[in-house]
Amino acid sequence: MSYYWRDKDSITLDFFAGSATTAQAVLELNREDGGNRKFILVQLPEPTGNPEFTTIAEIGKERIRRVIRRMEQEAAGEQPELPLEEAPPQDLGFRVYKLAPSNFQPWVGVAERDAEAYAAQMALYNDPLVEGWREPAVLAELALKHGLSLTFQDERVEVEGLAVHRLSDPESGLSLTITLAESVPLKAFHALNIPEVATFICRDTALDDETAANIALHCRLETI
């Protein structure tokens, strides 16, 4: 066993993940000794010529899924020595990230003293999110930009018809409350009971001036 793997809370980084044998080893070792090791795998999407798993990265992801599925099935058939409520749970989840363009439109400058061009450019930024944006990708980008770790937790709640995501990071203690709704009613915001020190993020186009002013008095308001 590697010296580093003796640390039950270690993080293993594999820049050449291949078919994700490292992930399988970490998961199985955690189950063996009750550890809480984590893994970070990096793999280029090299093509395989296989229509079912088109890249090596896809093979790795499927391997992890199958290992987790097998471990869950085996655990379901076991009788633990400790009662279920006392047995330490094993984290068998994983997330997949890939390099991609930002979900936010970059600012493109205009020629000086060209009022028409400037007005046209500003009109494009009425909503800074790019066309075709996806909610999970925007949430992940906001979380990382605000210092949350890759393993942040996402709790989705709906209050007064407003869908809200509460992101939290147990490692750093940071948290965010985010909604990407097209409109944020003041009544729904108050129902969230957000602490004064907390950060609330929403789309700029979702607020009128009065609502924005009221929210800013109750917490740290950021708009996108």
Cα(43)–Cα(53) distance, rounded to whole angstroms? 14
In tens, the pLDDT along 170-188 reads 888 899 999 999 999 999 9
Cα(110)–Cα(119) distance, rounded to whole angstroms? 10
The verdict on residue 95 lying in a domain is no
Which uninterrupted H or E stretch holds 221? strand 220-223
Query: Do 70 and 122 reside in the same domain of the chain?
Result: no
Domain boundary among the residues 76, 104, 129 is at 76
The verdict on residue 126 lying in a domain is yes
3-state secondary structure at position 146 = coil
Full domain range(s) for residue 9:
4-76
Residue found under tokens 């990708």: 137
In tens, the pLDDT along 136-160 reads 999 999 999 999 998 899 999 999 9
Residue 128: pLDDT above 60?
yes
The verdict on residue 139 lying in a domain is yes
Residues paired with residue 157 on neighbouring β-strands, in sequence order:
164
| Number of domains into which the chain is organized | 2
What token pair was written down for 212?
A: 């924005």
In tens, the pLDDT along 193-213 reads 999 989 999 999 899 999 999
pLDDT at 92: 83
CA atoms within a 13 Å half-sphere pointing along the CA-CB vector of 109: 3
The verdict on residue 98 lying in a domain is no
In tens, the pLDDT along 7-43 reads 888 999 999 999 999 999 999 999 998 898 999 999 9
Query: Do 124 and 214 reside in the same domain of the chain?
Result: yes
pTM across the whole model:
0.74
